A and B are shown apart, each in its own frame.
Chain A
Amino acid sequence: MSKKSYERPYIQKLNTGTMNKFGTKTEYAPVTAIEGVPVKKLIADYGSPVFVISERQIRKTYHEAVRAFKTRYPKVQFAWSYKTNYLNAVCNIFHQEGSWAEVVSMYEYQKAIQNGVPGKKIIFNGPDKSIEDLSIAVDNESLIHIDHLDELYLLVELLENKKKKARVAIRVNMDTGIYPMWDRFGFNYENGQAWNAINKIMSHPELMELVGLHCHIGTYMLSANAYSVAAWKLSDLAMNIQLRYEKTISYLDLGGGFASANTLKGSYLQGSDIIPSVDDYAEAITSTLLNFGFKQENLPTLILETGRAMIDDAAHLLGSVIAIKRLSDGRRSIVMDFGVNILFTAFWYNHKISPAQEFSHHVEDMVVYGPLCMNIDCVRESVTLPLLNRGDNVVVHRVGAYNMTQWMQFITMRPKVVLIDMDGKTHIIRENETLDTINQMEKMPKHLKSINL
């Protein structure tokens, strides 16, 4: 007698009359391959967990963003936000497409230089730039975005002893009708700080040239309209500079902040149903700039530092089930071999998780935990998945932004990152850490070398 295939017994109470708030069947439809490469093969070849990035998806998203802006506005330049994902291979896909680099530390700056980005095409943001950092940026003719007056004074001090002029912009913060307002970076527009900083810069024409104005009004912005407010306020400053100093500002940098299709925690609606499209953002920004009243020859270049919306979709995290448990209150819980250590964005997002193999139509609501011995290590507080077993594989969606930079080496080590190229070939673009990788950086004082237990 041949035996029937086994699925662990399952029973669930049916609540008549209430809508299934856990979404539709498509949500837990299996994802068995990424860009045509079977998930099972990826895990067999590269281990579990593993991050998998699609080059095709990165380029596609980039092309869509470029099209949305360039069809509406004549001068557009993207700059890749390094902190969002600074794996060199990822950066170079953006650089091949024409993106400049946007960095916020000397570490990121050096990465950009080593990737071959010309100094002139590096935007140096961030509140922490030492005099040495500034000196390198001035020598390379990078765009220095001044964050506060202390930085301005430091730069003046540096430039007084240098033969070279600096190319600078200021970061402006402002009320765009969005709460919370990000006012800790840059100079405030409404209270006159920004105008004051501009005047200070313009009073040193021999040392520096004010070439641009920058803002980054927040992240995962659900309102496209906030960008038209921001574009208007930067334009207003640029126009006043033109009037008062007869100086044409060559670019306005609207920063990043466009939402990706991930679903924010606490949001009842799916991210993809509520976020503005890249066309909505583009329309809000470009129509404001075009209608502001710049003379054609003074029209500023529009720079964008779009991060998460460019890369989130392009990466998946593949992982495996370690254990299935029942919590004391009866809820099903499942322990995965990845946790918040490598999926940092699980703190903000309810990441979509798909099984990587076929199942029956039965599903259960469950809590998804990571492998860390910490209460905070929860990947999903409630998700509906088929009847997974130990060893089964899952695919976590939209993990391209901030995970491969904010991940931590905590309890376990960080896994490999694999790129699937345009031809479907796979490449390791970052090796997994090993005990040696970590131990290399440690030093043992002589008197602690031997132990005798």
Chain B
Amino acid sequence: MYVNKNLAISDTGFIFNPSTGDSFSTNEVGKFIIDLLKQKKSKEEIISQIVLHFNVDKVNADKDLSDFFAMLKSYQLMLDENE
């Protein structure tokens, strides 16, 4: 799993994908996750980082992360390793 390394993310959560020209908006937790993805962190690592930094339990963090991944894939911002 990886995201396009060239994605530009502003502090306010504005995302620009230079390869397609699309732009997106994300929130604080979304930005946090994308930053970790750019560092090639695994899903498990990301979940523990979220739980460490935010007021949420593991079960909900996991559930929301899976949904977020699905959105990133649907926007073609994230690809599986073998693609």
Contacts and interface: CB of A to CB of B under 8 A. Distances in A.
A6 B53 CA distance: 9
Contact of B71 (A11, A16, A360): A11
A13 B24 contact: yes
A11 B23 contact: no
B24 A12 contact: yes
A128 interface: no
Contact of A5 (B24, B33, B55): B55
Contact of A362 (B25, B53, B64, B75): B25
Given A11-B25, A326-B70, A387-B27, A5 B54 contact: yes
A3 B55 contact: yes
A10 interface: yes
A124 B52 CA distance: 68
A179 to B, nearest CB: 43
Interface of B: 15, 22-30, 32-33, 50, 52-56, 60, 64-65, 67-68, 70-72, 74-75, 77
A453 interface: no
A24 B24 CA distance: 19
A13 B64 contact: no
Closest 3 CB pairs of A and B: A6-B56, A9-B30, A6-B54
Contact of B15 (A11, A16, A360): A11
27 contacts: A3-B52, A4-B28, A4-B53, A4-B55, A6-B29, A6-B50, A6-B54, A7-B27, A8-B64, A8-B67, A8-B68, A9-B29, A9-B32, A9-B64, A10-B30, A11-B30, A11-B75, A11-B77, A13-B24, A14-B23, A14-B25, A16-B23, A326-B70, A330-B70, A360-B27, A360-B28, A362-B27
Contact of B26 (A6, A10, A16): A10
A278 to B, nearest CB: 42
A9 B55 contact: no
Query: Which residue of A5, A11, A330 has the most chain B CB atoms within 10 A of its CB atom?
Result: A11
B12 to A, nearest CB: 10
Nearest to A14: B23
Contacts, number: 68
A7 B55 CA distance: 9
B27 A10 contact: yes
Query: Which residue of A8, A14, A326, A387 has the most chain B CB atoms within 10 A of its CB atom?
Result: A8
B55 A14 contact: no
Contacts of A10: 26-27, 29-30, 68
A313 to B, nearest CB: 34
Nearest to A5: B55
Given A4-B28, A14-B23, A9 B15 contact: no
B24 A9 contact: no
Interface string A233-257: 0000000000000000000000000
A11 B55 contact: no
A22 B12 CA distance: 22
Nearest to B75: A13
Interface in A43-67: none
A330 B71 CA distance: 7
Query: Which residue of B29, B65, B68 has the most chain A CB atoms within 10 A of its CB atom?
Result: B29
Contacts of A362: 25, 27
A6 B33 CA distance: 13
Contacts of A6: 29, 50, 54-56
Contacts of B52: 3
Contacts of B50: 6
Contacts of A360: 27-28
Contacts of B65: 9
A237 to B, nearest CB: 62
A9 B53 contact: no
Interface string A383-400: 000010000000000000
Interface string A1-33: 001111111111110100000000000000000
A3 B25 contact: no
A333 to B, nearest CB: 12
Contacts of A7: 27-29
A212 B36 CA distance: 77
